[in-house]
A and B are shown apart, each in its own frame.
Chain A
Amino acid sequence: DSGVTQTPKHLITATGQRVTLRCSPRSGDLSVYWYQQSLDQGLQFLIHYYNGEERAKGNILERFSAQQFPDLHSELNLSSLELGDSALYFCASSVGNGVETQYFGPGTRLLVL
């Protein structure tokens, strides 16, 4: 157990809908990262927050948004969902802002029908 929690574990929804994925980092970690794992892709970086501020943005679609709250938990919002958004979404946390080990949560498996 990495200490990073993600909810829900599984999510099934329909195209056009909106969902929110939640992540709680390890105690003491200030950074939260979101990654997407699709069937035909490796782990793709989406976005990084450090102590409430956005620090880096990757291949995140405009339909997706994220935020990190004052208690350091983070939410990833996916809207106008398409079939291709079906994937495993991981959250990771680290104590700092760069080279440190990133600890991964169990992931949320999203299926868009």
Chain B
Amino acid sequence: ILNVEQSPQSLHVQEGDSTNFTCSFPSSNFYALHWYRWETAKSPEALFVMTLNGDEKKKGRISATLNTKEGYSYLYIKGSQPEDSATYLCASLDRGSTLGRLYFGRGTQLTVWP
């Protein structure tokens, strides 16, 4: 079982603030890292899949970086908007016989106040 940790657990910011949060995962046998956005009463929505050390991905105001050697990924949101309020989940994929099995962190719950 992989231990994937996310911090902080929750975050409250004002509209217009930029924010970032962290996902830590075991670096040995790493294969890929997924980021998901999960709004209340909806299903998780895929943001990024990252595989290479130093990888950076961007989607609108959201971007993510990956460090596979030290086992962490950062998610950044620039100029947060109320519609960004959601839980952001990361999940690690391990090389080996259980390929395809995602290990999820508990998520960072972001609330953006207008």
Residues of A within 8 A of B (CB): 2, 31, 33, 42-45, 48, 50, 55-56, 58, 90, 94, 97-107
Contact = CB atoms under 8 A, between A and B. Distances in A.
A106 B43 contact: yes
B101 A58 contact: yes
B40 to A, nearest CB: 12
B101 A56 contact: yes
Given A42-B89, A42-B104, 20 more contacts: A2-B43, A2-B45, A42-B105, A43-B104, A45-B101, A56-B97, A58-B101, A90-B44, A94-B100, A97-B99, A98-B31, A98-B32, A98-B99, A100-B49, A101-B34, A101-B46, A103-B46, A104-B36, A104-B46, A107-B43
B43 A43 contact: no
Contacts of A2: 43, 45
29 contacts: A2-B43, A31-B100, A33-B102, A42-B104, A42-B105, A43-B44, A43-B89, A43-B102, A43-B104, A45-B101, A45-B102, A56-B99, A90-B44, A97-B99, A97-B100, A98-B32, A98-B93, A98-B99, A100-B49, A101-B46, A102-B34, A102-B102, A103-B46, A104-B36, A104-B43, A104-B44, A104-B45, A106-B43, A107-B43
A21 B103 CA distance: 22
Given A42-B106, A104-B45, A106-B43, A99 B101 contact: no
Interface of B: 31-32, 34, 36, 42-46, 49, 51, 89, 91, 93, 97-107
Nearest to A49: B100
Contact of B31 (A56, A94, A99): A99
B35 to A, nearest CB: 10
A55 B93 CA distance: 14
Contacts of B99: 55-56, 97-99
Contacts of B105: 42
Contacts of A98: 31-32, 93, 99-100
Contact of A90 (B43, B93, B97): B43
Nearest to A97: B100
